[in-house]
Amino acid sequence: MAFDSLSEKLNNVFKKLRGKGRLSENDIKEAMREVRIALLEADVSYKVVKDFVKTVSERAVGREVLESLTPAQMVI
C-alpha cells in the first residue's frame, strides 16, 4: 500500500518532465521538491533523501536529453 502511493507520486513527477528537450534548473528543482516530499512521506530517512536529491540535482541540471530518452528517463 505504501509503495503504491510512493510509486504514484513519483510517476506524477516524471509525467511533468515528459516532452521537454532540455531540463532547466527550475524543472529539476520542482521535480526534486516533489520527490523529496514523496520520499519523506514514505518514511525514508531525511539524510538519505537529502543526499539523493542533491546528487540527482547536480547530475541532471543542464544536461541535454539523449535522443532515445525522455527527460523523465534522464532523471531516473
Which of these, 17, 7, 10, 6, lies nearest to 74 by C-alpha position? 17
Every domain of the chain and the residues it spans: 2-75
Q: What is the pLDDT of residue 75?
A: 65
The per-residue pLDDT for range 1-43, each reduced to its tens digit, is: 567 888 888 888 888 777 666 667 788 888 889 999 999 999 9
The CATH classification number of 2-75 equals: 1.20.120.140
The per-residue pLDDT for range 49-75, each reduced to its tens digit, is: 999 998 888 777 655 555 556 666 666
**pTM of the predicted structure, to 2 decimals:** 0.72
Measured CA distances, 36 to 12, 27, 39, 42, 74 (Å): 13, 14, 5, 10, 17
